[in-house]
Copies of this chain bind each other. A is one copy, B any other.
Amino acid sequence: MKAQDHHLQVPGMRMTKQRKEVYRTLMENQDHPSASEIHNLMKDTESPMSLATVYNCLEALVEHGAVKQVNIDREPTRYCQNSTPHAHFHDQSTGTIHDITFKPGASLTDLIELPKGTEVTNLEISIKGTIPS
């Protein structure tokens, strides 16, 4: 999926005007904004919307796998347009979050062993530290 492809169709999800705009905003701001940052970004556009709606839209997008939540400690939840498997590196000196894609062929089961029959619905890997600039 290209960054320009805002005409996302998600199976099972009604792509309303608001959801489309929230998704577009996230596509155009790949620095993992929070819900209220997204809300602010949309304030001066032609499609401002309620903060509750931003939350609702993000929830729907997350539920359908188009968007990922980023949970860093007790900071406000941030959102990630990158729906492919990846880890998040939280640079403590800048506060920025970097996406780190998995090595080709790498799998969670390289690290840990899960009982037979385990269903994994979500995997979140967050690394905190510093990256040389």
A positions within 8 Å CB-CB of B: 69, 71-74, 77, 87, 89, 92, 100-103, 106-108, 110-132
Contact = CB atoms under 8 A, between A and B. Distances in A.
A112 B120 contact: no
Count this chain's copies in the assembly.
2
A115 B106 CA distance: 18
28 contacts: A69-B73, A87-B111, A87-B112, A92-B121, A100-B112, A100-B113, A100-B114, A101-B112, A102-B112, A103-B110, A103-B111, A103-B113, A106-B112, A108-B111, A110-B110, A110-B111, A111-B125, A114-B131, A116-B132, A117-B132, A118-B129, A119-B129, A119-B130, A120-B128, A122-B128, A122-B129, A123-B126, A123-B127
Contact of A118 (B71, B111, B132): B132
